[in-house]
């Protein structure tokens, strides 16, 4: 392959070579979120293929990278034949020896959560075609995939994650892996609790609240009327300026510490007006100098 190795024969760190091929292999239990993860990576310009036989992975990487695509994601799960699953560790080892920078991500979830998800969606489990009860199919799948879970670079437990939270996790931790620092600005309501993955939390409840204006109450901080109302409040502008200055000063320290992502959370009472406005304004500021800036508004999703 065309990714070089260093003088010691090891693969350079992610991001060390702009032309390096980045391969993400997604596996895991049916219903744990692999399809969502694959679609999220596709949004970040990964060339994605699902349910690929392991033996075809080197040919796929060669063909796709020859076409100029440097980011590739492949889904591998129990729909593959057992011999394909058993072959995957050796295939990945061979790819690593050619200098391919890969990650194996395994998506897991509790059995009771998986059962509920299949019940809610009325989907059939891929191993239940021969009349196997759902709980037995899940147990068999877990057994068949155990060797992959054991060698995974990261195991993601999606039991407590909804679709939006899983997409956010994949976007921040995987979708931007190997690139510059990824920023996620998230708004939230304090009454629903703090986001569990916050690196910074800022409290906007001290600011004037558009909620008390009947005309603005149904709107959000993304609407022009709310933005204009807040922009005319001196304390809001001072808060935003000081917050921007703080992040301008300290975010480079995270990059120097080889962090790949930082989540900055801004909360207010309802999570609809002030926090959303500030998250959007901060994202606008940092998009002027960075490419990997995301927003997530928890209470608007």
Binding-site positions:
28-35, 77-80
Nearest residue to 16 (alpha-carbon basis) of 179, 154, 256, 153 = 179
d(CA 238, CA 235): 5
> Own/partner pairs for 239-243, CB < 8 Å, 24+ apart?
239/204, 239/206, 239/207, 239/278, 240/278, 240/281, 240/282, 243/202, 243/278, 243/282
- C-alpha to C-alpha distance for 290 and 286, rounded to whole angstroms: 6
Binding-site positions for GTP read 77-80
- Helix H or strand E encompassing 154: strand 154-157
Q: 178 with 20: CB under 8 angstroms? A: yes
Q: Is 88 left (phi over 0), alpha (psi -120 to 50) or beta?
A: alpha
Task: In whole angstroms, give the CA distance from residue 112 to residue 138.
Answer: 10
The sheet carrying 71-75 orders its strands as: 47-50, 71-75, 22-28, 101-108, 154-157
Gap between the Cα atoms of 220 and 277, Å rounded: 8
| DSSP characters over 136-151 | HHHHHHHHHHHHHHHH
Output the CA–CA distances (angstroms, integers) from residue 283 to 204, 264, 297, in the order listed.
16, 10, 12
**Residue list, annotated binding site for ATP:** 28-35
Contact 142, 190 (CB under 8 A): no
């Amino acid at each position: 392959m065309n990714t070089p190795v260093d003088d010691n024969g090891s693969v350079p760190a992610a991001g060390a070579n702009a032309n390096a091929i980045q391969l993400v292999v997604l596996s895991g239990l049916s219903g744990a979120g692999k399809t969502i993860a694959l679609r999220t990576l596709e949004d970040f310009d990964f060339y994605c293929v699902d349910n690929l036989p392991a033996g075809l992975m080197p040919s796929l990487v060669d063909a796709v990278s020859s076409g100029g695509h440097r980011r590739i994601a492949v889904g591998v799960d129990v729909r593959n034949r057992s011999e394909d699953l058993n072959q995957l560790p050796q295939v990945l080892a061979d790819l690593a020896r050619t200098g391919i920078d890969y990650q194996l991500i395994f998506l897991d979830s509790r059995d009771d959560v998986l059962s509920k998800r299949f019940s809610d969606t009325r989907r059939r489990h891929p191993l239940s075609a021969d009349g196997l009860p759902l709980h037995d199919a899940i147990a068999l799948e877990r057994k068949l995939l155990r060797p992959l879970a054991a060698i995974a670079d990261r195991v993601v437990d999606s039991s407590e994650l909804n679709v939006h939270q899983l997409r956010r996790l994949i976007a921040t931790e995987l979708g931007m892996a190997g690139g510059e620092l990824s920023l996620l600005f998230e708004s939230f309501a304090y009454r629903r609790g703090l986001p569990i993955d916050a690196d910074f939390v800022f409290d906007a409840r001290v600011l004037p609240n558009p909620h008390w204006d009947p005309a603005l109450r149904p709107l959000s901080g993304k609407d022009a009327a709310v933005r204009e109302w807040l922009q005319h409040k001196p304390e809001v502008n001072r808060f935003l300026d000081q917050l921007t200055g703080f992040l301008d000063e300290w975010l480079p320290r995270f990059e120097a510490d080889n962090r790949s992502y930082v989540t900055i959370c801004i909360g207010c009472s309802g999570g609809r007006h002030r926090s959303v406005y500030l998250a959007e304004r901060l994202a606008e500021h940092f998009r002027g100098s960075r490419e990997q800036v995301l927003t997530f508004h928890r209470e608007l999703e």
